[in-house]
Chain A
């Protein structure tokens, strides 16, 4: 996916070529949309977090210490934006966590787009604690190692392993409930 280095594009943007930033957006949009969507549980919030992340990254681009790793730097911003968007939504009491009615409504919006299995996975993910969902997605969606996850989240490796283990247990429990019913 990252067929060429990010650094030349970052340099062009820093020299005033704003339109070059579209190349970076196109390069990372789809990959990081998956993380934001699974983390936040709906497309609207995922797009908000992802757009915020791209905007903040542009604004702070001169502070990107390693332009070759723009993608990793952007992802770190996105992880934090997802936390903030999720927390803000929780404060507005529209949280997806344990909000069965909202989940059902949301899943009915696009019945043709999603399989029953993927809907059940989203429903189960939404019922995880946010830090468990985050750790699970970093491990099984982004396929990061625990050391990298630790650098990204600030949590210790042992804590992250525990979060992933708990997330797996809970997901299995929730999904087996569905298919044994």
Chain B
């Protein structure tokens, strides 16, 4: 029945494209949730300089810019405050780190004998289980591992087994994902606590 088969597929596709009625409050609920999140703000230069944050510096191409920023921030800080000792140290710490903490290669390992696929998701890859750089390979004996380059800093991550099961790393400290209650682990890259 090839003709009927084709007809059925067309009918199915047409049926699937029928509108799906969502709850009338759906948009309001989404926007209420979004309003409760930190607002995106693209800051000005001064705000960027005085807000504590991690600054990534590429040694060659950004060295001159970093030096200029450091100079401007230093001069501005001295001009703004009578005593450099009284200046809040938080932004200065970020800018005057002696050596920028470079990304580091981190190996993730998990034992999952019955898995068909294992991926690592985390805040470093947008929690994307399909990210090519974070697909673990089966090394034999149920051991899966992947080595990936992670930016310096604190990260949360998890293993996703067979595209569906989230598993915390049994060898790492546990982090609580307050939003969704899924098991996450914590890692510090480039810090002394790693």
Chain A residues engaging chain B, CB cutoff 8 angstroms: 13-16, 18-19, 21-22, 25-26, 29-30, 33-34, 37-38, 43, 46-47, 50-52, 54-56, 58-63, 76, 80, 83-84, 86-88, 90-91, 113, 117-118, 121, 130-131, 137, 140-141, 152-154, 168, 171-172, 175
* A–B complex contacts, Cβ < 8 Å, 19 sampled: A18-B31, A18-B39, A21-B31, A21-B34, A29-B26, A34-B16, A34-B20, A46-B22, A47-B22, A54-B33, A63-B126, A76-B128, A80-B128, A86-B164, A118-B15, A130-B164, A140-B12, A153-B130, A171-B8
Indicate whether A154 sits within 8 Å of B15 (C-beta atoms), given known contacts A22-B31, A47-B22: no
Any A CB within 8 A of the CB of B86? no
B126, A84: Cβ atoms closer than 8 Å? no
Q: In chain B, what residue has the closest Cβ to A37?
A: B20
Any A CB within 8 A of the CB of B166? yes
B26, A51: Cβ atoms closer than 8 Å? yes
Q: In chain A, what residue has the closest Cβ to B27?
A: A25
Chain B hits for A54, CB < 8 A: 30, 33-34
Chain B residues engaging chain A, CB cutoff 8 angstroms: 5, 8-9, 11-13, 15-23, 26-27, 29-31, 33-35, 37, 39-42, 119, 126-130, 132, 135, 163-166, 180, 182
B8, A55: Cβ atoms closer than 8 Å? no
A29, B16: Cβ atoms closer than 8 Å? no
Chain A hits for B26, CB < 8 A: 29, 47, 50-51
Chain A hits for B132, CB < 8 A: 154
Contact of B41 among A15, A60, A168 (CB under 8 A): A15
Chain B hits for A55, CB < 8 A: 30, 33-34, 37
A141, B16: Cβ atoms closer than 8 Å? yes
B37, A15: Cβ atoms closer than 8 Å? no
Contact of A131 among B22, B27, B37, B163 (CB under 8 A): B163
Contact of B40 among A14, A25, A46, A87 (CB under 8 A): A14
Additional 13 contacts, C-beta under 8 A, given A76-B130, A140-B16: A13-B40, A18-B34, A22-B27, A34-B16, A34-B20, A46-B20, A51-B29, A52-B180, A55-B37, A80-B130, A88-B182, A137-B16, A168-B5
